């Protein structure tokens, strides 16, 4: 087995261990059980109405000046009353649609094996007398399953009985035989709502007969069975027969429609997956292990190799209609933690961190689509809460509403103003990588700048602008409440947004840069650390999972060892002092990303080790939020590739840093195809003695090449001409 897949010697017993396939719209969790197989179907659009679909941001703008006066006067708890009194309201929860169930009399399971091919997206299970393969087509937006040698009888049905499914869910089944095949349907209407979703499965039988056995169909004497499934959310009625005809018409008129459908899918999936690869020289014996066994070999390099490959695979598979949720695109339970939503004050941002460098514009496009769709709601947030123009992003969203209504006293997320800048950062990176601005990104940045023009009106005794109220997710000062003044993250985000918007809009550049120049500098506290709040007198709280105050280090380039060494040293001290609080996976990997920017390879290795040793990964190689596989969550799975890239290659539009934070655990390897923000791809090979890099620029540019923290030299690159950095020359 290469690093580009994983396998297990037994079917999945838990949905968390089911192999995953997806096209960014539909998802499939594949158990691979020869006698009672299940494929759980998900779709990004499936969120359960809970009343929050009608929620709006609190109308607090009229009270804002008073709050600002009180906070600036030193009332440390003033922001706790800046609310309209509503209770905490969760966004609409993400949930599974149903399971495709395939049951047959017990057969010969000798030689059983299930495997997942990252290059194709196929989850295949094989035993002595049965084979099943499943993939989710990027070309045709359907879930495709083929079962060969299904046995003397195979019962197929769509089953909504999944954990947490509402008892009052209105469910109707349909089963029809047509000359071309059987048509199964399941319609589910949410309690107290006109909204519904319908799944349709078209079943084509080769060499056998089909009989209706409500609510499904029984296939007897078949050589193979093909199932094609699609889910649609809707209100009112949906024409199931028309949906079935649409699925039937997708099937090519060939001897093997499964292979033909797969051939249409592969150019879209395989091309994207194979753009970037990582080889850490893993032990061949460890590479051959099933994932469940490899996860126990945390000291070798075969495990991070496979997790890198799996992370890019899952990130690609979960991105399309939306970027990945807290659970990616997959869940087998209606009761998803934190509504299975998009949390934008760390989690979504960490999951999409590798999109530009790891050459996955599909992920960036999904994020851009989410932002563009929600901009009208972001405008509502700015007007209602702050009385400004422009936009303010929410910290939590179901993917539909972008209104900021999820907040409480302990989590005053409606006070957070840095979200739009962080969400737009991957889109800016993507534009830099390809060398052309996206009009959507340019328009959104202009609206962020307009917000800051209206919002940044208060000044301190030195005439510096003050961000008030200000919030550092999800921490509080040791001597004050959560809502306060001049959080380091808010300062960095405002500066970055204004300067970036100026670069996209030269006609406003002078005004926006002048505004940014009036913001206060970061503060270094008595411990020599970058303070989480720049406002004097606010004491740091170190033991926390979030590293919001180090936003200027990562993902921004504001603080780095080359241009701002003193601030970088203070940021490094802040990182040293930071605790792990509840051992959330996102906290450890965020720590590793910051450490990589600060050239601390040993700290990167330690943070990665805490995740690898903490039993964070299921057999599916999807991750958990807490150690011991507690709470299914995609943060670690999707963020880990970003960490491995950042420790090997970092770039800005005018700088290339190679091997900045190589940990001792990765003495040699090859990283191929990684993208840079100055418009080049890089193949990097290294050993303990030497390193070689091949740079393939798409545009002519001069950058600073940095290999050590003390030295840099100019590197002139010419579009279309490979530039080789041979051992001993850099």
729 falls in which pLDDT band (50, 70, 90)?
Answer: confident
First to last CA, the chain: 36
Q: How many whole angstroms separate alpha carbon 521 and alpha carbon 465?
A: 10
Domain edge (last residue) among 274, 298, 320: 274
HSE toward the beta carbon, residue 436, CA cutoff 13 A: 4
* DSSP-derived pairing of the beta strands 342-343 and 711-717: unpaired
For residue 385, the SS3 value is helix
Domain membership of residue 190 (yes or no) is yes
Q: What is the pLDDT of residue 98?
A: 98
Q: What is the pLDDT of residue 349?
A: 96
pLDDT, average across residues 690-708? 94
pLDDT at 557 over 50: yes
pLDDT at 709 over 90: no
- Out of 616-625, 634-643, 679-688, 706-715, pick the least confident: 706-715
730 falls in which pLDDT band (50, 70, 90)?
Answer: confident
CA neighbor of 491 nearest in space, from 543, 407, 429, 556: 556
Domain membership of residue 129 (yes or no) is yes
151 falls in which pLDDT band (50, 70, 90)?
Answer: confident
Domain membership of residue 296 (yes or no) is no
Predicted TM-score (pTM) above 0.95: yes
Q: Hey, what are 567's tokens?
A: 């601030």
Q: Following DSSP, what letter does each residue of 69-111 receive, concatenated?
A: HHHHTT-TTGGGG-S--PPP-PPPPB---EEEEEE-S----TT
Q: What is the pLDDT of residue 107?
A: 79
Q: What is the pLDDT of residue 109?
A: 83
Q: What is the pLDDT of residue 311?
A: 98
What separation in angstroms does the CA of 713 have from each of 112, 243, 704, 706, 707?
56, 61, 5, 7, 9
170 falls in which pLDDT band (50, 70, 90)?
Answer: very high
Model pLDDT for residues 248-291, shown as the tens digit of each residue = 999 999 989 999 999 999 999 999 999 999 999 999 999 999 99
Cβ atoms of 144 and 121 within 8 Å: the answer is: no
Domain membership of residue 239 (yes or no) is yes
Domain membership of residue 501 (yes or no) is no
pLDDT at 687 over 90: yes
Query: What CATH number has the domain bearing residue 661?
Result: 2.60.40.1180
Domain membership of residue 329 (yes or no) is no
pLDDT at 708 over 80: no
Q: How many whole angstroms separate alpha carbon 104 and alpha carbon 155?
A: 6
Domain membership of residue 437 (yes or no) is no
Work out the burial of residue 267: count CB atoms within 10 Å of its CB; fewer than 13 is exposed, 13-18 middle, 19 or more buried. exposed
Model pLDDT for residues 314-360, shown as the tens digit of each residue = 999 999 999 999 999 999 999 999 999 999 999 999 999 999 999 99
Q: Hey, what are 172's tokens?
A: 């109707």
Question: ω before 398 within 30° of 0 (cis)?
Answer: no
Query: Which residues make beta-bridge pairs with 686?
Result: 669, 691
Q: How many whole angstroms separate alpha carbon 311 and alpha carbon 305?
A: 10
Q: Which helix (H) or strand (E) holds 566?
A: helix 565-577
pLDDT, average across residues 703-720? 87
Average pLDDT, the chain: 96
What is the count of structural domains for the chain?
A: 2
Domain edge (last residue) among 223, 255, 274: 274
Q: What is the pLDDT of residue 641?
A: 98
Query: Which residues make beta-bridge pairs with 675?
Result: 681
pLDDT, average across residues 427-442? 97
1 falls in which pLDDT band (50, 70, 90)?
Answer: very low
Task: Give the domain extent around 259.
Answer: 5-47+95-274
Q: How many whole angstroms separate alpha carbon 530 and alpha carbon 540?
A: 10
What separation in angstroms does the CA of 609 have from each of 397, 589, 606, 639?
31, 10, 5, 14
Domain membership of residue 340 (yes or no) is no
Query: What CATH number has the domain bearing residue 248?
Result: 2.70.98.50
Q: What is the pLDDT of residue 3?
A: 85
Residue 706 CB: number of other CB atoms within 10 A?
23
Domain edge (last residue) among 251, 274, 297: 274
Q: What is the pLDDT of residue 710?
A: 55
């Amino acid at each position: 087995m290469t690093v580009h897949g994983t396998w297990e010697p037994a079917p999945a017993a838990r949905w968390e261990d089911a192999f995953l396939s997806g096209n960014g719209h539909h998802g499939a969790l594949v158990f691979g059980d020869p006698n009672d197989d299940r494929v759980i179907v998900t779709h990004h659009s499936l969120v359960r109405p809970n009343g929050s679909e009608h929620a709006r941001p609190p109308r607090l703008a009229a009270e804002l000046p008073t709050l600002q006066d009180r906070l600036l006067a030193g009332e440390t708890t003033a922001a706790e009353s800046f609310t309209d009194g509503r209770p905490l309201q969760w966004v609409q929860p993400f949930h599974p649609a149903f399971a495709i169930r395939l049951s047959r009399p017990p057969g010969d399971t000798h030689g059983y094996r299930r495997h997942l091919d990252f290059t194709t997206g196929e989850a295949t299970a094989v035993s002595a007398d049965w084979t099943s393969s499943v993939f989710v087509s990027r070309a045709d937006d359907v879930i495709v399953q083929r079962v060969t040698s299904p046995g003397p009888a195979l019962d197929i049905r769509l089953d909504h009985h999944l954990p947490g499914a509402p008892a009052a869910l209105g469910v109707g089944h349909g089963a029809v035989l047509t000359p071309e095949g059987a048509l199964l349907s399941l319609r589910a209407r949410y309690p107290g709502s006109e909204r519904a979703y319908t799944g349709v499965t078209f079943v084509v039988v080769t060499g056998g007969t089909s009989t209706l056995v409500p609510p499904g169909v029984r296939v007897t004497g078949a050589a193979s069975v093909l199932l094609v499934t699609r889910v649609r959310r809707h209100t009112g009625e949906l024409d199931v027969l028309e949906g079935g005809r649409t699925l039937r018409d997708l099937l090519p008129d060939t001897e093997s429609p499964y292979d033909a459908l797969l051939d249409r899918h592969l150019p879209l999936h395989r091309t994207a997956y194979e753009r970037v690869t990582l080889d850490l020289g893993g032990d061949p014996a460890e590479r051959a292990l099933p994932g469940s066994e490899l996860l126990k070999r945390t000291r070798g390099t075969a495990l991070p190799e496979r997790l890198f490959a799996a992370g890019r695979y899952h990130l690609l598979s979960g991105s399309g209609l939306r970027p990945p949720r807290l659970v990616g695109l997959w869940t087998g339970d209606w009761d998803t933690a934190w509504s299975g939503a998009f949390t934008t004050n760390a989690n979504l941002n960490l999951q999409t961190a590798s999109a530009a460098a790891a050459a996955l514009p599909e992920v960036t496009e999904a994020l851009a689509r989410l932002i563009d769709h929600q901009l009208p709601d972001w405008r509502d947030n700015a007007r209602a809460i702050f009385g400004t123009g422009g936009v303010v992003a929410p910290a939590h969203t179901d993917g539909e509403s972008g209104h900021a209504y999820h907040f409480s006293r302990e989590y005053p997320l409606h006070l957070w103003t840095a979200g739009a800048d962080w969400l737009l950062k991957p889109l800016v990176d993507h534009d830099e990588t390809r060398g052309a601005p996206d009009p959507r990104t340019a328009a959104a940045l202009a609206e962020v700048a307009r917000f800051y023009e209206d919002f940044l009106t208060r000044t301190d005794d030195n005439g510096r602008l003050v961000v008030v109220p200000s919030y550092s997710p999800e921490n509080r000062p040791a001597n004050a409440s959560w809502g306060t003044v001049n959080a380091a993250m808010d300062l960095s985000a405002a500066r970055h947004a204004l300067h970036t918007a100026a670069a996209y809009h030269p006609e406003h550049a002078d005004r926006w840069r002048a505004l940014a120049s009036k913001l206060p500098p970061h503060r270094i506290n008595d411990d020599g650390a970058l303070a989480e709040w720049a406002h004097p007198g606010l004491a740091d709280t170190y033991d926390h999972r979030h590293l919001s105050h180090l936003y200027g280090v990562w993902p921004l380039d504001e603080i780095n060892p080359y241009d701002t060494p003193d601030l970088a040293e203070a940021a490094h001290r802040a990182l040293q002092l930071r605790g792990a609080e509840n051992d959330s996976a996102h906290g450890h990997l965020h720590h590793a990303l910051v450490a990589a920017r600060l050239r601390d390879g040993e700290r990167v290795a330690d943070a990665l080790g805490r995740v690898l040793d903490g039993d964070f990964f299921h057999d599916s190689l999807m991750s958990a939020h807490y150690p011991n596989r507690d709470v299914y969550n995609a943060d670690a799975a999707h963020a880990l590739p970003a960490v491995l890239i950042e420790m090997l290659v970092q770039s800005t539009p005018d700088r290339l840093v190679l091997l900045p934070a190589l940990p001792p655990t990765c003495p040699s390897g090859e990283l191929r195809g990684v993208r840079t923000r100055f418009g080049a791809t890089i193949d990097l090979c290294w050993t303990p003695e030497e390193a070689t890099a091949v740079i393939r620029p798409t545009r002519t540019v001069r950058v600073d090449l940095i290999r050590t923290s003390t030295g840099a030299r100019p590197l002139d690159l010419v579009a279309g001409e490979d530039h080789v950095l041979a051992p001993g020359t850099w």
